[in-house]
Structure 1
Amino acid sequence: MLIILGGLPGSGKSTIAHSLARKTGACYLRLDTVEQAIRAARPPESNDVGPEGYMALYALASDNLQLGQNVIVDSVNAIEVTRSAFRRVATDVGKGFVEIEIICSDAATHRQRAATRMPVSDGHRLPTWEEIQTRRFERWSPDLRLDSYVLSVEESVSEIINLLNARKE
């Protein structure tokens, strides 16, 4: 099963994804980590990763799905083209998928989280609150939308596991 997460930076995606991976033993793949590895392999002046990070993430997800692993992909996933590509990754290898959007409905909490996030590694530039607020995020109809302001990490993980169990039946 491919668990496709999406949501704005600072919404709580990675925190929920980490907890879900620990609880389920699923393979955890984070776009920020992949993109930072690509940046680290390049000269400093070529900082723009472009689509390479997503392309690498699709390949890693496919490999792990083919090995029979459940896979969690953690990325902003703001546009339909990336969402449909993730769905295609799962269906191309004969696996199911669920799409989950993580939001934080309280702007003050979201802003605080964004300001206190830890970068993937030294040199990784996190978006500012202004960049998060103005980021293009295409409308989405995920299987599950979780509000990390309302639900605890544990409650969010429980909701995801309930969805996964319902999809198995």
Structure 2
Amino acid sequence: MAKELQEERKPLVIAMKGHPGTGKSTLAHALASTLQIPLIDKDDIRDSTFHLQQQSSSLLNDLSYEAIWRVASTQLLLGLSLVIDSPLSRRTHLDRLLSLSASAGARLVILECKSLDEAKWRERLEGREKSWHKPPSWEELEKLVKGYSGCTEYDVGDVPKMVVDTTAPNVGVAELVQSVVDFIASCCGRFPTCVPCTS
């Protein structure tokens, strides 16, 4: 009984993963709102580096990741569950999250957003508000993905992972959120006591 109670109190990290324009941020915001847990968005950090844009783009990207890891670490040490919205595009990013989760005794779940309907994905990407550090066109996205050289596709080991098609027909954000909540409840037993479970 004591062990079950301890498991319930473990913080949970819901780590978003996926290319730009796949609906990660929309789903991350909806999940954080539904579950009433903090959201740490890499774009918030990256947007604050605009005045440094003359510097190396990869340096600013690395700095943005370092900042979210530090903010996440503080929240986890406070015992809070959280959603981290970032592309999680490299295995080293997952390794850092695994380390943070382990040091805080937290559970980690990965939610990968994909857009299997390429036309809808393109429409979403090109119709969103422009940002200086996000691909503004489909051609720029293709160039970005090509530059990854396949490193975004890596084995997550035994970390529970759910892949969500954010362009599935007749499936809204509320349905996606519910399917994620159900998935987390099934693989983690249930949410920590500070997180309301809607299932």
Within 5 Å, give how 1:6-21 maps onto structure 2: 6-21=17-32
Q: Deviations over 1:113-152 (max 9, x none)?
A: 0001124xxx634203123224125214561000011132
Deviations 1:10-53 (A, max 9, x none): 0000011111111011110111111111334x3x5226213111
**Cα deviations by residue, 1:57-97 (Å, 9 ceiling, x for unpaired):** 11111111111211101111111111221121111111111
Distance in structure 2 (CA, Å) of the matches to 1:97 and 1:103: 19
Using the aligned pairs only, state the percent identity.
Answer: 23
Residues 1:145 and 2:159 aligned together: no
Match in the other structure for 2:91 = 80
| Structure 2 portions without partners, runs of 5+ | 1-11, 191-199
Q: Is the 8 A contact 1:2 1:98 kept in 2?
A: yes
Amino acid at match of 1:168: G
Letter in 1 for 2:178: S
What is the distance in 1 between the residues matched to 2:61 and 2:30?
A: 29
Task: Return the alpha-carbon distance in structure 2 between the equivalents of residues 141 and 105 of structure 1.
Answer: 20
**Alignment size in residue pairs:** 164
Contact kept? 1:2, 1:97, Cα under 8 Å: yes
1: CA distance between counterparts of 2:176 and 2:132? Answer: 27
Mapped pair 1:4 → 2:10: no
Determine if contact 1:115/1:129 at 8 Å carries over to the other structure: yes
RMSD: 1.8
| Cα distance in 2 for residues equivalent to 1:76 and 1:157 | 18
Q: Does 1:46 align with 2:66?
A: no
Which residue pairs with 1:126 in the alignment? 134
Q: Which sections of structure 1, spanning at least 5 residues, go unmatched?
A: none
8 Å Cα contact 1:2-1:72 kept in structure 2: yes
Give the Cα–Cα distance (whole angstroms) in 2 for the partners of residues 69 and 91 of structure 1. 14
Q: Which moved more, 1:22-31 or 1:127-136?
A: 127-136
Which of 26, 32, 35 pairs up with 2:37? Answer: 26
Larger radius of gyration: 2
TM-score, normalised on structure 1? 0.88
**Aligned residue identity for 1:131:** E
